[in-house]
Structure 1
């Protein structure tokens, strides 16, 4: 581009689809969407790659379509990671302030965060994120930025996210085989939160529930910081499977029924209304009660929300701002009402905010992660003193440096 602005690619590798978003970064302006696309994916299961070639083909197709819409070529990607291999924990560390006058500097922050992140990680796992929740100076809590403050004892509370090394390696390999460099990796619910949550919600307490194809990801924010992340091994794909089995029809028909005819709100269904469903055995059409379809979908969605409720109950977290739903599963009719009934909290649909450009068709929960990755890219690349981003800002360091960059990602969240 010739205007001094830069383009970034947000890439969401989901179980059922690959989403690509190309956005223009402009200082002090909303993110400008230039192009986007989504393509079916058959190479992942519950967020983990099981077929590299199919994944590569889907990545190429999605990125090429987004590039064609945007009119620009991209060579690097900010990538979301999720799946039931992802685990998280809260940890803390303490150091003494190094300066004789007790003034806290950047090196003190780095030391105390490293101390807090010194957790035992098995050899087959890698730290994906080290996210500061708060700092404590001589017993004074809830300090966000302690640099320049005075004290003797500095404590950090951090949220540590880990993932399977093999899962990350296979993801990076697939992206590079698709002709892209991995610029950085972010946990998908954290990326989604950048696109759909407001600062007031983060401060008062909010739970983001990202209902994907293979998993449902949870992220809880309170007092401005991340407090908990978790994964449930169920998603929209399970709903489709239930429909296919319950109505004895094909997967493709079940998916179509889920998207076009299914509802989670049983009170809005006419018990006499029927839908035509092709029979799997003799290919003839059968008339099925739409209420039966809704009951099948409702049972699975209630189970997912019950598991979310159990996860939140274990942590005893304050959620004054309620729950925000995103991901493709949030598009099910009546899902907000179902969530409120099970969780006993206010629930809203999370749609991408503060975007301009090619927004028609992208202001949907299913694009929240890819858009959120573009927001995080802007936060990283925008931390410069010049008025425009330099050409070097988008130059990746290659696969070998990915893990190091993931560990440094925490700087975005301070």
Structure 2
């Protein structure tokens, strides 16, 4: 019999904290609560002020709790930032039993061998993601349990982070009284929210450009092959507007969202907008084309840096599905068209996936892609640690390796 579960996705970003609460029955996700708060205490995705970060998380969580009429105990928490790095590795084990039937224990052994590598004390292992298994030379196997063979290989994608950054994020979440069901790489979560199976199979780049960082991930053959974070994103565009139009930063953010575009040629010469002056005591008229001329160079820089990372990693010619952009920067008018023209690749803005119900009109924005993706991650990996109706404070740092159960369940 199906049983309703309460689940929570917590996206702690550089410019905002978003908390999503959902009812889940099987794979049916109904969002029943959303809380957001301006993020204070993070820089480039890394906690720099624990007290302010805790306050931001608490505000978002309480807002979501009030909307959903629940008390949150556990959450799937996204992580990103300039400290994140990744690499690919492989390993092989022999199957020596007489029947040569591969078991879950063999899979555990080969994954364990692939994740075993010398790590410096300041590095934390976040994910070890099997991309494919190979049995006696046969590639492309997703679940080898029950197959017959003498040699089992695995290719894995390993995600690493700074011990300090990971543990400080965990401290902030647990200080609010919330246990961590699992730490999840934000690009991985966002991909589950906005990428189709066909795109991931064919080859696609996902750019999740938020406030302080842009997360880059490449998918091929249905799996993640490359991930990287660059410390430049939407807040840099806002700062440019502040300087270029001599307006307060809050006003710069407003006009970026309301009037911003990265296509200068699409704006008429006679289009004007009202902009608050420094001090906020008066307004002035500014050409919208001037605003676009401030925005376009920074967008060009962000995208060029991201695509250069893809090219340096050797995937530039292996992404026929093109580019999907999500996060706050994806809301800029004309950005998909800009990407298509500049790089000669198909491009689209990531949209909310099918199967999401409830507050759909609220959370369909790209800015909530990570929060929605965290919910889908838990459902698709079947790695539930349901939240409860009463708040708890038990530490869950050990669940950083919860991925292991997901991949070994039969």
**TM-score interval for Structure 1 and Structure 2 normalised by the shorter chain:** over 0.9
Which stretch of the first structure deviates more once superposed, 127-136 or 29-38? 29-38
Name the counterpart of 1:411: 407
Alignment of 1:3-402 (within 5 A): 4-27=3-26, 29-280=27-278, 284-317=282-315, 318-353=318-353, 354-381=355-382, 398-402=395-399
How many Å separate the matches in 2 of 1:24 and 1:278? 43
Q: CA deviation at 1:231?
A: 0.9
- Kept after mapping to 2: 8 A contact 1:130/1:409: no
> Structure 1 390/327 Cα, relative in aligned 2: closer, same or farther at 3 Å?
closer
How many Å separate the matches in 2 of 1:16 and 1:170? 17
| Structure 2 SS opposite 1:361 | helix
How many Å separate the matches in 2 of 1:284 and 1:15? 30
Q: CA deviation at 1:378?
A: 2.1
CA RMSD of aligned residues (A): 2.4
How many Å separate the matches in 1 of 2:408 and 2:220? 17
Deviation string, structure 1 residues 165-214 (Cα, Å, up to 9, x no partner): 11111111111111211111100010111111121111111111101100
- Give the length in aligned residue pairs: 405
- Kept after mapping to 2: 8 A contact 1:18/1:58: yes
| Structure 2 SS opposite 1:99 | coil
How many Å separate the matches in 2 of 1:412 and 1:209? 30
How many Å separate the matches in 2 of 1:55 and 1:382? 27
- Kept after mapping to 2: 8 A contact 1:137/1:151: yes
Q: CA deviation at 1:266?
A: 1.6
Unpaired runs of 5+ in structure 1?
Answer: none
TM-score (norm: length of structure 2): 0.93
Q: CA deviation at 1:80?
A: 0.2
Unpaired runs of 5+ in structure 2?
Answer: none
